[in-house]
A and B are shown apart, each in its own frame.
Chain A
């Protein structure tokens, strides 16, 4: 009996020390206990799929085709240019609403603020990490720049700035531009823009 108990305790000890506790970090992929239909040979995005020669399951569009719903028409909304020309549109082609501005503020914080700064002065957090040349939106050139040209910069990038056309949809790009204009306007504000009763509260 004594040997049995000893062997039993030893076995439990060995199992626990090999298997460890719940939640321990491990490099081994999880065991699938009853793996009946867990992994089916169907297409999953961004996974390797041997059906295709290069294994890419997320296929690129065939040249000369356009995905359904993709913004393809030659409209100011999609290109930032006057239809049929290369001239940039000067004003937003979408209605300016408070909803659009709020959306723009949120998207600006996600996509632009770490470089251009929350106030748009080009001094975002990344300035502390070897990142240079971030444009200051309060630059006279950028204040005067047509909306369409900023749209083009977001879509295709410019010089040192990467392209955001793939991750921000056109509607959101216009929302960001609307918010960017609000930032510029706020920067140009003077005391006269503050309502009379509130002026006392300002520390000049």
Chain B
């Protein structure tokens, strides 16, 4: 009888157990690490039809976001500028550059430039730019260092947890309203002092402006 099952099968239950634990851990770790917007969205950098660079226009030329994204303070939606805004300068600057062919064509015909949208919340989420921007929440909190990007990429997860982290504690992120589009702005060049000032002033702003960053479901799912 002893030949039917060889000796090593005695260790089989043990081996199976160890194997399953390892595989289970790997699957859980994999799902935890990869099945989240921190992985699926962050870093998305589509190829845009025109090689427009925020690093050049904002970082180097010092343009304000609102010159182009002019509706961001008034509406829920932050518009991407029309080609005619580009032509305000590019009717003289790089007037014949092939890099701007599409812009010139669009300005002449009215056919929009097919920019690829990078940031997109699901359609069942209600988001609003104006409420945030007018209450001192800077673009950098949700879009990252746009002023250094040659090509825009998705820098923050924009998941529900991300939104709620701030809605639970806006005082740690809020800043003076006129500094919202100044992405490099800090309270102080020394991070420790800046953190203290943020705490003190943040709480003051939240109180003075009566900031109510709602956490009930119907605020964002309406």
Contacts and interface: CB of A to CB of B under 8 A. Distances in A.
Interface string B75-99: 0010110101101110111100000
Contact of A26 (B44, B67, B178): B44
Interface range, A side? 35 or more
B154 interface: yes
A131 B89 contact: yes
Interface stretch (B31-39, B164-172, B183-191, B204-212): B31-39
B33 A22 contact: yes
Interface string B20-62: 0011001000100111011111111111000000000000011
A164 to B, nearest CB: 8
B13 interface: no
Contact of A30 (B44, B62, B63, B124): B44
Interface string A5-16: 000100110010
A72 B47 CA distance: 40
B40 A23 contact: no
A157 to B, nearest CB: 8
B44 A33 contact: no
Contacts of B154: 30
Interface residues of chain B: helix, strand, loop or mixed (majority) = loop
Interface in B126-166: 153-154
Interface stretch (A35-43, A135-143, A181-189): A35-43
B63 A114 contact: yes
A38 to B, nearest CB: 4
Given A8-B22, A19-B34, A22-B39, A114 B82 contact: no
Contacts of A26: 43-45
Contacts of A46: 77, 79-80, 112
Contact of A166 (B67, B82, B94): B82
A198 interface: no
B64 interface: yes
A126 interface: yes
B93 A126 contact: yes
B9 to A, nearest CB: 13
Contacts of B61: 114, 125-126, 129
Interface string A36-73: 01111010111100000000100000000000000000
A25 B153 contact: yes
Contact of B42 (A23, A31, A106): A23
Interface residues of chain A: helix, strand, loop or mixed (majority) = loop
A78 B38 CA distance: 48
Contacts of A1: 15
Contact of B117 (A24, A47, A130, A166): A47
B6 interface: no
B118 to A, nearest CB: 10
Given A42-B123, A106-B178, A162 B87 contact: yes
A12 B25 CA distance: 11
B66 interface: yes
A1 to B, nearest CB: 6
A134 B134 CA distance: 32
Nearest to A102: B178
Interface string A105-135: 0100111001100000000011001111000
Interface of B: 15, 19, 22-23, 26, 30, 33-35, 37-47, 61-64, 66-67, 70, 77, 79-80, 82, 84-85, 87-89, 91-94, 112, 117, 122-124, 153-154, 178
Given A26-B43, A109-B64, A126-B93, 17 more contacts: A22-B39, A22-B42, A22-B43, A26-B44, A28-B44, A30-B41, A30-B44, A30-B154, A37-B123, A38-B123, A38-B124, A39-B122, A46-B79, A114-B63, A125-B61, A160-B92, A166-B82
Interface of A: 1, 4, 8, 11-12, 15, 19, 22-33, 37-40, 42, 44-47, 56, 106, 109-111, 114-115, 125-126, 129-132, 160-164, 166-168
